[in-house]
Structure 1
Amino acid sequence: MTRSIDLDKFHDAVKLEIADNFPTVSTVEDYDTDRKDLMAPAILIELVDMEADPDSDPGTEQLAVVSKWVARIIMSFRTENVKREIRKFAAALGVLVHQNRWSMQMGPAQVTYIGPDAFSPELDKYEVWAVEWDQQIDLGQSVWTGEGVTPDRVMIGYAPKIGPGQEGDYSELGGNS
């Protein structure tokens, strides 16, 4: 059964795993962070957009989308050897993101970019690199509720000996008959 992705939990899971894996980072936040008084080093995550992905339709009447994410790594220019350090940090974050599912039921993360971030005036006193990734997720509730009888065995019949009255001609899949 495919479950709907809760976007709040998704954000929280990404932030928590990044914070757990990079304990020396002062700030791991998302949209509400005041960038003028930012404590660096910092990682700011953002869900950039969601693009419909009809080729990944889960058959549950949910909306399959490719979510596009960016994690901006921010270091002070005062950091010793900042140009090298930010590149090493970005590479390590890329490794963490690669194929990560954030302990949730979703497709694996596909890293699409690791490199310098576009200019942001509020971050001009920092060195900023970005790790970008795509992640396929399903939005909305599944029509499959999980109710009903779950079969405990699978039987196979071969035409023309199938249907009611032919049960004796069936074999159990994986069975010894």
Structure 2
Amino acid sequence: MNKYDPLELIHQTMVDTLTNHFGKRLEFVQAYNLGKCLNSPGIYLGMHQMEVGENPGDGRHVIHADWFCYCVLANSTPDLAIEIRRMACEVMRLLNEPETGLWGLDNVVGLPKHIQAIPALFNPDTKGYESWEVTWQQSFYMGESLWEDDGETPKTVLASHVPYTGKAHEPRYKPL
């Protein structure tokens, strides 16, 4: 996995976060694969579209993405109409909390925005389960930042004027 191409990392941390939250209540948390049979109970993750964002000025590229997850429960689930909505609400709550909505990748992704849920209809002929689609917008960064460094981040910015610049004149520098 290339740390500067974060798609696999983001996907895996989404899967891990949702799996840890729901625990044994779900059998599946995985990528949505069009044409594959859906199993229940499960969450299927994917992306509707991506577009390039403004240059952040640090050597990386911003990608704005429209993400989704399908929450799926079998028709045999007791109180199905309430439980499927409850599941969608739990996903929305996780997305809305910075600790979980950033997936532990706060240097790679931005906070989720425009979090919403609607009933999901894949195929009107499909019977046996109920699904809701949770959607959100979340940006991520691709590439290496020019500002990542192994050193300590400066706490104070110091300045001086020519000709009193450079190592020999450090005592003359003043905080900004």
> 1:22 is paired with a residue of what secondary structure?
helix
The within-5 A match list for 1:8-157 is: 8-23=8-23, 24-32=25-33, 35-36=36-37, 38-54=38-54, 57-98=55-96, 99=98, 100-104=101-105, 105=107, 106-120=109-123, 123-144=126-147, 146=149, 154-157=157-160
Verify: 1:7 aligned to 2:7, yes or no: yes
> 2:8 is paired with a residue of what secondary structure?
helix
Write the distance in 1 (CA, Å) between the matches of 2:14 and 2:136: 12
Cα deviation, residue 66, structure 1: 0.8
Contact 1:35 1:122 in 2 (8 A): no
- Identity, % of aligned pairs? 24
Write the distance in 1 (CA, Å) between the matches of 2:95 and 2:155: 38
Aligned residue identity for 1:62? R
> 1:132 is paired with a residue of what secondary structure?
strand
Contact 2:92 2:115 in 1 (8 A): no
Give the TM-score normalised by the residue count of structure 2: 0.78
Aligned residue identity for 1:45? L
CA RMSD for the aligned pairs? 2.9
Task: Indicate how the Cα distance of structure 1 residues 89 and 6 shifts in structure 2: closer, same or farther if over 3 A, else same.
Answer: same
Cα deviation, residue 89, structure 1: 1.1
Task: Indicate how the Cα distance of structure 1 residues 120 and 107 shifts in structure 2: closer, same or farther if over 3 A, else same.
Answer: same
Contact 1:111 1:131 in 2 (8 A): no
Task: Indicate how the Cα distance of structure 1 residues 165 and 48 shifts in structure 2: closer, same or farther if over 3 A, else same.
Answer: same
User: Which residue number corresponds to residue 164 of structure 1?
Assistant: 163
Cα deviation, residue 138, structure 1: 1.4
Write the distance in 2 (CA, Å) between the matches of 1:66 and 1:28: 23
> 1:108 is paired with a residue of what secondary structure?
coil
Gaps of 5+ in 1: none
Aligned residue identity for 2:58? T
The alignment covers a number of residue pairs equal to 164
